[in-house]
Amino acid sequence: MSTFYDEVGGHPTFAKLVHEFYVGVAGDPELRALYPEEDLGPAEERLLLFLEQYWGGPTTYSQERGHPRLRMRHMPFKVTPVQRDRWLTHMLAAVDTLDLDAQHDALLREYLTRAAFSMVNAWED
């Protein structure tokens, strides 16, 4: 049985998605401020491993970090609707670089949008 991960090209596709997203983050001072590390590389690697696992790829994320607990892991950070929208802007722009077929593109965008909305934990800056 093939997975979404396999159907869209596996690791190279997800690596491109995440890399393009972090290029956007690096150029967005307000969003970049949410990432305490000077080097975005570790955050890029964590997101890559998470997305690969979520979409049916290797389970390296859980092996290295345990259960994703996405909302819990983001609680230390104040995530506002403005930050959510900035995150989505860069992530959906990264999806644009993938040249996915319409069905896969829609599934990925829908998931990323839902995930972004679920991370909001503060309503004001």
pLDDT tens track for 94-110: 999 999 999 999 999 99
Out of 33-37, 46-50, 69-73, least confident range: 69-73
In total, how many domains does the chain have?
Answer: 1
- Residue 27 clears pLDDT 70, i.e. is over it: yes
Give the model's pLDDT for residue 72: 47
Give the model's pLDDT for residue 37: 76
Give the model's pLDDT for residue 73: 46
Type of residue numbered 44? E
Query: Positive or negative, the Cα torsion across 84, 85, 87, 92?
Result: positive
Establish if 124 belongs to a structural domain: no
Whole-angstrom CA distances from 88 to 9, 59, 60 are 22, 25, 25
- Segment 22-49 mean pLDDT: 90
pLDDT tens track for 66-84: 655 554 444 456 788 998 9
Locus of tokens 């390296």: 60
Establish if 64 belongs to a structural domain: yes
Establish if 23 belongs to a structural domain: yes
Give the model's pLDDT for residue 74: 47
Encode burial over 1-38: b for 16+ CB neighbours within 10 A, e otherwise. Answer: eeeebebbebeebbbebbebbbbbbeebeebeebbeee
Establish if 81 belongs to a structural domain: yes
Distance CA 41, CA 71 (A): 21
Distance CA 96, CA 14 (A): 13
Establish if 125 belongs to a structural domain: no
Locus of tokens 């995150």: 87
Range(s) of the domain holding residue 24: 4-119
CATH number of the domain encompassing residue 30: 1.10.490.10
Give the model's pLDDT for residue 76: 53
Establish if 65 belongs to a structural domain: yes
> What pTM did the predictor assign?
0.86
Distance CA 76, CA 121 (A): 10
Residue 17 · residue 51 · CB < 8 Å: yes
Mean residue pLDDT of the chain comes to 88
